[in-house]
Structure 1
Amino acid sequence: MTVRPSDDGYKTFGVWDSAVNGWRATRIANEPKARELASDLDIRYDAHGPRPPDAIRHVHPCQEVQHPTWSTGELDVSIRNNGEWLGRVRDKNGHITWIPGTDLRPL
């Protein structure tokens, strides 16, 4: 999923799905909300359709992790993508990043 400015004439954002070559959502008020929706959709879908249940691992409660190139964040879910586990990490400012699981260190 990709976050782009919406093409609907409003100064809003949308989530573009390259696999289906179309919008998943438009008219999202701000970019952080659009990025969060895009990451939620990445959890549910891969390039071939719905992601298999065994390719999703939710972390309850969220786990604080550290990445070698930046400080800390909270891991809330991991997905298997092309044979590699990726963790969704939210930093202290709320920005979401997908990071390879091998690069994450629990605190």
Structure 2
Amino acid sequence: MIDRFAVRKSSQGFGVWDAAVNGWHSRQDLSEAEATALARSMNAGHTPREARTGSRRVSPAKPVLVLVDGRWWPGRLDWWVRETDGWYGRVTLDDTGARSWYPAATLRPANPARSS
């Protein structure tokens, strides 16, 4: 995964989410600036993987909804990658601009009534 660590909001503030283990990597009471700086420094320490056979670029990016903490968030899907436990989509959230990887089961088309 390219951006392993992402900033997420919690009920206490902000924290750093580790996409590799699907869990929090830091305290969740940080300010957004502190969490962003921490996530950037942790991502800088990880070398991104090269694109593999099990990956697909989505061009142009497609509007999707992402299920995070029981709520659907609008975003743009620009990449799919197949991991050992299934497919993950890279989505940039519209509200925050945060980019992270989400399991396919937590993604759905933003406008399912319209087919493209």
- Which of 78, 81, 102 aligns to 2:80? It is 78
- Give the TM-score normalised by structure 1: 0.54
1:65–1:106 Cα contact (<8 Å) kept: yes
Cα distance in structure 2, aligned partners of 1:2 and 1:78: 15
Whose relative contact order is higher, 1 or 2, with alpha carbons under 8 Å and at least 6 apart? 2
Percent identity at matched positions? 27
Higher share of residues assigned helix:
1
Extract unaligned runs of 5+ from structure 2. 6-36, 111-116
- The one-letter code of the counterpart of 2:79 is V
Matched residue count:
71
The normalised TM-score by structure 2 is 0.51
Which position in structure 2 is the counterpart of 1:29?
none
Alpha-carbon shift at residue 16 of structure 1 (Å): 1.6
What's the C-alpha RMSD, in Å, of the aligned pairs?
2.4
**8 A Cα contact 1:2 1:15, kept in partner:** no
Moved over 3 A (4+): 1-5
5+ residue gaps, structure 1, are 6-11, 18-23, 25-40
Query: How big is each residue's C-alpha offset from its partner over 1:48-90, in whole Å with a ceiling of 9 and x where there is no partner?
Result: xx452x2111001100001232321000001111141100010
**Residue 105, structure 1, aligned to residue 104, structure 2:** no
The answer to which structure has the higher strand fraction is: 1
The aligned residue for residue 15 of structure 1 is 44
Question: Partner of 2:45: helix, strand, or coil?
Answer: strand
SS at match of 1:94: coil
Contact kept? 2:65, 2:75, Cα under 8 Å: yes
Shift of the 2–91 alpha-carbon distance from structure 1 to 2, 3 Å rule, reads closer
